[in-house]
Amino acid sequence: MHVASIVSGLIGVATFFVATVLKSAEATFGISKADALACSAVLMLMAIWFAVGTIHHMKLEEKGEII
């Protein structure tokens, strides 16, 4: 889960970078700037969710509880 958090966060940052740095209406592969920013936001939220899940799982393991 930790690796998924890092990967989705990095992809989200890359998507945000491409959508904001490239000044054209079509960012890449025919995806509009608004769609790229929406995808970036979703990927960032996924990264946060995975990180929270990882922390929760680690805390449960410390207590000896198995999911």
Between CA 36 and CA 18 the distance in angstroms is 8
Identify the band that residue 67 occupies on the pLDDT scale cut at 50, 70 and 90: low
**What is the percent of the chain where pLDDT is above 70?**
88
Residue % of the chain over a pLDDT of 90: 33
Q: What is the pLDDT of residues 5-30, one digit of tens each?
A: 999 999 999 888 888 887 666 656 67
Per-residue pLDDT at 44 exceeds 90: yes
- pLDDT for the residue numbered 47: 93
Do residues 52 and 44 lie in contact, with contact meaning Cβ atoms separated by under 8 Å? no
